[in-house]
């Protein structure tokens, strides 16, 4: 399981021209689920997402978590994070979990986030989403478990 975290000033998801989710300051998380992933991994990754100290305080530019700054989280399923690009020029997706496996694991990740964070929004699983963001920093970090 891979989570690409982007510290944002704001982010939003549109589907078919309709805004379905938006946040102010916080984290945009693109989550890729792979075939061998588990609920335990999803929960661990959610905790790591919320506890990672990548927001500024008065002393250091990366010293507080999204929870400590009262930020929001926008989680978006992104199977392309599981792309295998080692051979050729067309990415392969044989390591990506099929939708019937990926959706429950994405939901487990979101549920774990919501257990600790007051404002968690999501994209729409499997939809053609238009994601917009204003990256803060920029700060972009890959988490894997």
Cβ–Cβ < 8 Å for 102, 77: yes
Distances (CA, A) of 61 to 12, 57, 111: 25, 6, 29
Active site residue 80: yes
Active site residue 55: no
Give Cβ neighbours of residue 106 (< 8 Å, ≥ 6 apart). 31, 33, 42, 75, 77, 125
Which residue of the set 6, 41, 49, 78 is catalytic?
Answer: 78
Rounded-to-10 torsion of CA 110, 115, 116, 122:
30
Active site residue 140: no
Which residue of the set 55, 79, 106, 122 is catalytic?
Answer: 79
β strands within 16-98, DSSP E? 18-23, 26-32, 72-77
Q: Which residues are catalytic?
A: 78-80
């Amino acid at each position: 399981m891979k989570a690409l975290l982007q510290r944002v000033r704001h982010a939003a998801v549109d589907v078919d021209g309709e805004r379905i989710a938006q946040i102010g300051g916080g984290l945009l998380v693109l989550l890729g689920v792979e075939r061998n992933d588990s609920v335990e991994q999803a929960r661990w990754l959610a905790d790591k997402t919320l506890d990672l100290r990548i927001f500024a305080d008065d002393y250091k530019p990366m010293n507080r978590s999204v929870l400590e700054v009262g930020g929001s989280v926008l989680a978006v399923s992104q199977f392309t994070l599981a792309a295998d690009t080692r051979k050729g020029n067309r990415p392969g997706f044989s390591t990506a979990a099929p939708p019937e496996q990926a959706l429950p694991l994405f939901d487990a990740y979101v549920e774990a986030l919501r257990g600790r964070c007051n404002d968690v929004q999501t994209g729409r699983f499997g939809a053609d989403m238009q994601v917009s963001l204003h990256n803060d920093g920029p700060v972009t970090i890959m988490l894997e478990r």
